[in-house]
Amino acid sequence: MPLDAHELARATADIVKAHTAPLLRRIEALEARKPERGEPGEKGDQGVPGPSGVGLAGAMIDRSGVLILTLSNGESLEIGPVIGKDGPPGEKGEKGDTGERGEQGTQGEKGERGPAGFSLESFDVIPTDERTIELRFDAGDTRHTYELEFPVTVYRNVFKEGDTYARGDVVTWAGSAWHADRETKEKPGAPESGWSLMVKKGRDGKDAK
C-alpha cells in the first residue's frame, strides 16, 4: 500500500509533540523563574561525548492500518491504526442478467428394473352365490380380494322359522309372496318384520260341487 507523506508527517508530528510536551512545560517553568546571578564558578573539565542520536530509517502501513516506523538503531515503533475500519456494506445492487445455459451433463447410469405393473392377467371375477361376486387382484405372492353384493331378487321357497333371510330374498307365506327389505328372521306379516307384501293371496274359488 503506498505511504501518504501527509499522513506520515501528521503522525510523526503527533508523536514528537507527545514526547516533547513535558520537556517544553519544564523549560517554560524554568524560564519563568527569575534566576539569581551567582558568582562565576571555576571552569570544569570537558564532559564525555553523548550517544549518537536516533533517526528515522523507514515507515510502512500494514494491512490492519498500523503505521510502523523503523529507526536507525534497528528498533521499530508502531503507531495507529492510522486508517479507519471498513464502513457498513452498501445497498444491494440490481440483479444481473441470466448467464448462458451450460452444457448438458452426461447421462446417468441405468437404474434397476422396477416391479411388474398391473395387467388383466392379474385380475379375476368369481361368483360366490346368487347375488355376490368376488374381485380378485394378484401381484406376485400377494392377493387382494373384494366382495360386492347386489340385492337382486332370489326366491327362497316357503318361509321357514329360524332361518335368516337377506335383503332381496322372496318367500311365500300364508298364500302370499313376501320381499325382504333387510336381513331378518321375523315372520312375514308381523309388525316391523322387515318384509313387504309382493303378491297377496287370492280369494278361494267356489266349490265345484
Is the pLDDT reported for residue 206 higher than 60?
Answer: yes
Residue 76 and residue 21 share a domain: yes
In a domain, 104, yes or no: no
Q: Band the pLDDT of 5: cuts 50, 70, 90.
A: low
In a domain, 68, yes or no: yes
Considering the chain, what is the average pLDDT of its residues? 79
Looking at residue 187, what is its pLDDT? 94
pLDDT digits (tens, 9 = 90+) for 148-186: 888 788 999 999 999 999 999 999 999 999 999 999 999
* Amino acid, single-letter form, for residue 137: F
Predicted model pTM: 0.37
CA distances from 105 to 99, 101, 102, 111, 112 (A): 17, 12, 9, 17, 21
Distance CA 116, CA 144 (A): 16
pLDDT digits (tens, 9 = 90+) for 22-38: 767 777 777 777 666 76
In a domain, 110, yes or no: no
The percentage of residues in the chain with a pLDDT greater than 70, rounded to a whole number, is: 76
CA distances from 32 to 19, 20, 35, 39 (A): 22, 18, 9, 21
For 69, residues 6+ apart whose C-beta sits below 8 A from its C-beta are: 12, 56, 58, 59, 76, 77, 78, 79
* Amino acid, single-letter form, for residue 161: E
Residue 24 and residue 10 share a domain: yes
Residue 26 and residue 60 share a domain: yes
Residue 160 and residue 145 share a domain: no
CATH number at residue 175: 2.10.10.20
For residue 133, give its domain range: 120-149
Q: Band the pLDDT of 209: cuts 50, 70, 90.
A: low
In a domain, 44, yes or no: no
Distance CA 209, CA 175 (A): 23
Looking at residue 7, what is its pLDDT? 72
Residue 59 and residue 26 share a domain: yes
In a domain, 60, yes or no: yes
pLDDT digits (tens, 9 = 90+) for 60-103: 777 776 777 777 777 777 776 655 555 566 677 788 788 888 88
In a domain, 67, yes or no: yes
* Domain edge (last residue) among 133, 149, 165: 149
In a domain, 91, yes or no: no
Domain tally, the chain: 3
How large is the average pLDDT for residues 177-199? 93
Contact call for residues 3 and 12 (beta carbons, < 8 A): no
In a domain, 45, yes or no: no
Is the backbone of residue 65 left (phi > 0), alpha (psi -120 to 50) or beta?
Answer: left
